C-alpha cells in the first residue's frame, strides 16, 4: 500500500487502489503551496485515502483554506512542525477526491515506489508552465503526444 508523510514524519497517510489521475500542475496556487515551479499530483477518490489516528490527533496537523485563481476554495493539509504540504481537498473543485502532492510519497526499500513510479498522464495549467521547462507530451508541444495538455483544469 503506497504511503507518504511530511518531512519530519508527524503527518502520515496511505492509500489503496489506483489513482483516478496523475498530473503535473503548473497553476499559480500549486506553485505557492509547494514552493516550486510545478507540482506532481495524484487525484485519489476519498474512500481510498487513509489517515492514521496519529495524524489527525497530531499537534502538528494543520489545514489552511485559500482561494485558487479560478475562485474555488481549497484546503491544504500540512505539518506545522516542518511545513510540508502533503495533500489538498476542495469540495467545490473536486468533491469526493483528495489531491496528494507526490513529492511526499515514501519510497520502499531498494528505491521502489514513491514519486519515481508516478508518471503524469496530464499536464495542467500549461499556460503557467515556466518557459525553461519542456512539455511532457512526448511530441512537439502540440498536444498530440502521450501526456494530455490542458490550459487549465481538464473538462469534467
Convert the pLDDT of each residue in 38-55 to its tens digit.
Answer: 999 999 999 999 998 887
Residue pair 41/153 in contact (Cβ under 8 Å)? The answer is no
**Beta carbons within 8 Å of 76's beta carbon, 6+ residues apart:** 33, 63, 64, 65, 66, 85, 87, 88
Residue scoring higher pLDDT (38 or 107): 38
Q: Which domains does the chain have, with CATH numbers?
A: 3-139 (2.170.150.70)
Write out pLDDT tens, residues 69-80: 999 999 999 999
| CA distances to 119, 122, 143, 150 from 140, in Å | 19, 15, 8, 15
Per-residue pLDDT for 142 more than 90?
Answer: no
Question: Helix, strand, or coil here: 126?
Answer: helix
Q: Which of 106, 85, 6 is nearest to 39 (CA)?
A: 85
Averaged over 92-113, what is the pLDDT? 87
Write out pLDDT tens, residues 8-19: 999 999 999 999
Q: Residue 12 is placed in which grid cell?
A: 502520515
Cα 89 from Cα 98, distance rounded (Å):
5
Number of other CB atoms surrounding residue 70 within 10 Å: 13
Residue pair 54/12 in contact (Cβ under 8 Å)? The answer is yes
pLDDT of res. 20: 94
DSSP conformation class of 128: G
Amino acid at each position: 500500500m503506497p504511503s507518504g508523510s511530511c518531512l519530519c514524519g508527524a503527518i502520515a497517510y496511505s492509500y489503496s487502489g489506483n489513482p483516478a489521475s496523475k498530473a503535473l500542475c503548473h497553476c499559480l496556487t500549486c506553485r505557492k503551496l509547494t514552493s516550486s515551479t510545478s507540482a506532481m499530483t495524484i487525484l485519489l477518490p476519498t474512500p481510498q485515502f487513509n489517515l492514521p489516528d496519529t495524524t489527525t490527533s497530531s499537534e502538528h496537523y494543520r489545514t489552511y483554506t485559500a482561494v485558487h485563481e479560478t475562485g474555488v476554495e481549497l484546503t491544504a493539509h500540512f505539518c506545522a512542525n516542518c511545513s510540508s504540504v502533503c495533500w489538498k481537498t476542495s469540495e467545490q473543485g473536486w468533491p469526493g477526491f483528495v489531491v496528494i502532492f507526490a513529492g511526499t510519497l515514501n519510497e520502499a526499500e531498494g528505491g521502489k515506489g514513491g514519486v519515481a513510479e508516478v508518471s503524469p498522464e496530464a499536464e495542467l495549467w500549461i499556460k503557467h508552465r515556466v518557459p525553461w521547462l519542456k512539455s511532457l507530451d512526448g511530441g512537439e508541444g502540440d498536444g498530440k503526444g502521450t501526456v494530455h495538455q490542458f490550459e487549465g483544469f481538464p473538462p469534467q
